[in-house]
């Protein structure tokens, strides 16, 4: 199953996926293209080093549908069947999400529905939360919304700052995300009691 990975920044989760693929651990998933909405981000260099095609699709200066149409065109050109949001910091509309029913997953650094949006580790500390974590979920057209696939709790230690907490959270994300992506590609995930099949994930 060909996968498209959407990124906006550092790309450590992308790196975890690339490393898993290099070890044969994404099979039958294969990363066909990496798309960033920002130029010059480290994630693009990581993909290039791994020999994966990259594309920049800038969201600025146009409406969301035009942005998403270009994303969809790039994904279609690479025969992508399922999409992974790996630090992609834009909300997608139904125009995009409806093209990949149950075929888009996102990783987020909190126990959703707590602390959606940017800076989730800092939000958790600011709220005095004692536990936060990682959520991997199917994506709908809301901010970090959609059916939850997996969650892992991460305790917040006294004296944690956002950077230290984020590092511990990301250590878990980097192990969890590749295994979920492999399960998605293998058709092993279920949603509301229904197995997610390749047909569910395939773009029309
Ligand atoms: C990750 O921790 C991811 O969970 C988060 O951005 C980080 C990107 O790091 N995503 C969100 O906050 C989505 N709302 P990375 O670029 O090093 O993978």
Q: What is the CATH number of domain 2-203?
A: 3.40.50.170
What's the chain's Rg over C-alpha atoms? 16
> Which atom belonging to ligand 1 lies closest to the Cα atom of 170?
2
- Six token digits for residue 45: 């260099």
Q: Tens digit of pLDDT for each residue in 31-89?
A: 999 999 999 999 999 999 999 999 999 999 999 999 999 999 999 999 999 999 999 99
Mutate to test the pocket of ligand 1, among 7, 9, 86 (most ligand atoms within 8 A of CB): 86
What's the half-sphere exposure (Cβ side, CA atoms, 13 Å) at 167?
A: 5
Tell me the CA distances in angstroms from 143 to 31, 67, 140, 196, one per residue in order. 25, 17, 8, 22
Q: What's the mean per-residue pLDDT of the chain?
A: 95
User: pLDDT over 70 for what percent of the chain?
Assistant: 99
Residue nearest ligand 1's atom 13 by CA: 108
- CA 87 to centroid of ligand 1, rounded, Å: 4
């Amino acid at each position: 199953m060909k996968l498209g990975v959407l990124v906006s920044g550092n790309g450590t989760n992308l790196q975890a996926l690339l490393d898993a693929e290099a070890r044969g651990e994404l099979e039958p998933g294969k990363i066909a293209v990496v798309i960033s909405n920002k130029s010059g981000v480290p994630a693009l260099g990581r993909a290039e080093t791994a020999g994966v095609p990259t594309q920049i699709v800038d969201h600025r200066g146009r409406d969301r549908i035009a942005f998403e149409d270009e994303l969809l065109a790039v994904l279609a050109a690479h025969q992508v069947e399922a999409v992974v949001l790996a630090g992609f910091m834009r909300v997608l509309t139904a125009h995009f999400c409806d093209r990949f029913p149950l075929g888009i997953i996102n990783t987020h650094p909190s126990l959703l529905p707590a602390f959606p949006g940017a800076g989730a580790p800092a939000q958790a500390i600011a709220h005095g939360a004692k536990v936060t974590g990682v959520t991997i979920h199917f994506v709908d057209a809301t901010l970090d919304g959609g059916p939850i696939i997996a969650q892992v709790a991460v305790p917040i230690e006294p004296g944690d700052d956002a950077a230290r907490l984020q590092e511990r959270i990301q250590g878990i994300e980097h192990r969890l995300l590749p295994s979920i992506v492999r399960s998605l590609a293998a058709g092993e995930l279920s949603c509301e009691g229904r197995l997610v099949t390749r047909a569910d994930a395939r773009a029309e």
